[in-house]
Amino acid sequence: MLDCFSLTGKVALVTGANTGLGQGIAIALAQAGAAICLVGRTEPSETLDAINRIGGKSHMILRDLACSDGVESVVNETHKALGALDILVNNAGIIQRNDALDFTAAEWDSVLDINLRSVFFLSQAAARYFVANNRSGKIINIASMLSFQGGVRVPSYTASKSAVLGLTKALANEWADKRINVNAIAPGYFTTNNTAALQADPQRSAEILMRIPAKRWGQPSDLGGAAVFLASSAADYVHGVTLPVDGGWLAR
């Protein structure tokens, strides 16, 4: 039974894996046996070192995903460097905080370009690769608690993550019969750069912890099991799901 969770021989492309959630996911996939291609704007040296320490195989692509032009080349380079592509994790994301009354077009566009536009076009490029090569594939998007809730002072982030939930369903509907599984993970409140402002606010941090039944913030490694499951053959009949990993936040 455990063999169905193995990723040995698989190749995973993970965006935004420098630190935080992407790093935790990339390391977990490598521990399960996958070779990892890391894509981002800066060198993910810490993640590469961690993968190397466990004897994993990795490759790095420096690319600004805010520009959808060239995402096909990311897929092609992954294939060239690691021999295939089996798993795509759309993790790269940013957040802008401002009152909705004062929110600017630049703040809106910068978030939607990374959090939604790049997710669609990289998924499209990966799916085209899977179909052209008659391969099955797994696509895992990173949603959010704000895929279900409104949030405060983060209108573009909420819009993007709500759209990721819907896009996950839409792509699953179109691609399930092509042996492509499209699912998402919705992390709760994790200790990452995106939540640094919340962690630094004693009142807000205390309010968040009061609502989490697990009574702690999530650590990036807490996402590993969900990512490995959705990337593995154990999830071959799972399509269009957004799986919360939230310490019980949504259950409260």
- Known catalytic residues are 157
Helix (H, G, I), strand (E, B) or coil at 17: coil
Q: What angle (nearest 5°) sits at the alpha carbon of residue 45, between those of residues 44 and 50?
A: 100
Helix (H, G, I), strand (E, B) or coil at 33: coil
Helices marked H in the chain = 20-31, 45-53, 71-82, 105-112, 118-132, 155-175, 196-200, 202-211, 224-231
CB 170 within 8 A of CB 122: no
Pairwise CA distance, residues 90 & 185, whole Å: 10
Question: Exposed, middle or buried, 240 (CB in 10 Å: 0-12/13-18/19+)?
Answer: middle
Q: Enter the tokens of residue 40.
A: 């981002």
CB proximity list for 69: less than 8 A, separation 6 or greater: none
